[in-house]
Structure 1
Amino acid sequence: MQLPFNQSIQLKDIEGVKLMNRVDTKYWFHNSKLHEILEDASQYYYILEIENKQVLSYSTTYFDTNEDSMYRAHHNGHLNRYKIRQRTYIDSDISFIEIKHKTNKGRTIKNRISTTGKQLTFNEKEQHFLNDNCPFVIQDLQPAIRNSFQRITLVGKNFDERCTIDINLEFEWECSNTALADLAIVEIKTDGPPVNSKLSQILKNRNIKKSGFSKYCIGRTLSDKHLKHNAFKPNIRRLRKALNIYN
């Protein structure tokens, strides 16, 4: 994919805009709209480039309990909910165990430690990290679903905003493999509500409205028909309509 950005930025340059405690605002739409949106955004943002690549590959394994506690907490609209995952940044060849905590104030707090990414069990260091940062019994955690996608990362030229655009999303679990190849997911990460976000305004001008999208929960819903998913049905219907998926 040829991207319309003239100014790139390196990983070392975005240390100050990691925004590990932040407000997330999400949008999603058919990726046929993406190139024009990126063209509009190019004057306001730097694009992250690693090893001469601007579209970067990610692989993620999510963990949950036998009772699907994290999935159910999100489905039932609970605040103070968690996601636990092992994420590999393929182009950087680094992996992390990550905990995302959505607080009752609507903020997202992310904690992480490096890992080898070679196993799906937790070593002693990782167990201590999980015990210190989440309320679950570590022995109850097990892999629940895998996904892969490609990501474009934009950084506001004032270094007060980071935006990710995820494409080519695929879910894999047991015998199920689901691809959402025509989907683009935008997440705007800011310290507060994105009132000054240029990308938010660009999306609004194109009549693209903010809409929650959990890759974990949507992936579980599409991969396991036995899971309770009433709360996600409207999003699934909109998703199928937007992407022309009829099966």
Structure 2
Amino acid sequence: MTAATATAPLARLAPIALDELVERASLQTRIDRKYVVRATALENLLAGLDPDTRVLEIGGLRDFRYESVYFDTPALTSYWMAARARRKRFKVRTRSYVDSDSTFLEVKTRGARSATVKDRLEYSPDERGEVSPEGYDYAWSTLEEAGFDELEPTILVPTLITRYERMTLFVAGSASRATIDTGLRWVIDEQHPLERPDIAIVETKSGSRASDVDRLLWAHGHRPATISKYGTGLAALRNDLPSNKWSRILRRHFDVAPLSYTPTSVKDAS
């Protein structure tokens, strides 16, 4: 069984339109918790969702294709901030909603209280693989306003591509959202992608309190995982990068033996 086929229990749930989802649970500032769930456990887990849970539906579709192109400095500042578990860190990416042919440049920042803030700029799908002059100004001004004034503006280069299918849930009881990502693929070289069809990444997005989906996952023995599509994927594909933070995930779910490192032996890119 693949993770994509294990989402069958969601077919019984009522739909929710995008406008209503945004109105009731936009959560641009939120606490995110991620879980890695094997396909063999996913179906049973989803069967336990509250019947009032609703699934995002647009144009008759519930499973949407996503592509993200991540950008970093030549020194991989964003990667190193995540790898060293800095409380303050950021990501810059274009996110393309393939089915609707729309793209945004997104800047995600995390502050000292672990709250994630996402700012975004409408972007041309044809430019999704690069940072345009307008995108460059937007990214660096957003980072400066978010308190990253210690960073010196420099070029941002494409570093990693991720592709997957996503279903989004609205959880009425806790006014929160959850996403289920399947068909996971990471790409640096299109000829040698990293694919994991046997797992799903479930992400809960709520305010300060845990959501009903978090509690359901905990009841089934799942705990939040230290995984980042960008950081973990880059560490899995590049054996020259240290990956201590994601070592357990890499061994358990990616069949990768992580490269250990001594922090003092690596130049601090930030």
Equivalent position to 1:128, from 110, 126, 137: 137
TM-score by length of 2: 0.83
Instruction: Give the match's secondary structure for 2:198.
Output: strand
Which sits farther off after the overlay, 136-145 or 45-54?
136-145
Counterpart in the other structure of 2:164: 149
How many aligned residue pairs are there?
Answer: 241
Paired with 2:142 and 2:161, the residues of 1 have a C-alpha distance of 22
Distance across 2 between alignment mates of 1:145 and 1:65:
12
Could you give the per-residue CA deviations for residues 54-79 of structure 1, whole angstroms, max 9, x where no partner exists? 11110010001111111011111111
Determine what percentage of the aligned residue pairs are the same residue.
Answer: 24
Match of 2:12 among 5, 8, 15: 5
Contact 1:64 1:142 in 2 (8 A): yes
Summarize the Cα distance change of 1:246–1:128 in structure 2 as closer, same or farther, 3 Å threshold: closer
Deviations along 1:68-125, one digit per CA (max 9) or x if unpaired, are: 1110111111111001110101122211000111111010010001101212333343
| Uncovered stretches (5+) of structure 1, i.e. residues with no partner | none
2:217 to 188, 200, 203: 203
CA contact (8 A) 2:33 2:204 kept: yes
User: Matches of 1:233 and 1:159 in 2, distance apart?
Assistant: 32
Higher strand share: 1
Report if the CA contact (8 A) 1:4-1:39 is conserved: no
Q: Which runs of 5+ in 2 are unaligned?
A: 258-270
Structure 2 residue 233 is matched with structure 1 residue 222: no
Counterpart among 68, 76, 91 of residue 84 in structure 2 = 76
Q: Which amino acid letter does the alignment assign opposite residue 46 of structure 2?
A: L
Q: CA deviation at 1:152?
A: 1.0
Match of 1:169 in 2: 184
SS of the aligned residue for 2:221 comes to coil
1:237 aligns with 2:248: no
Query: 1:159, CA displacement in angstroms?
Result: 6.8
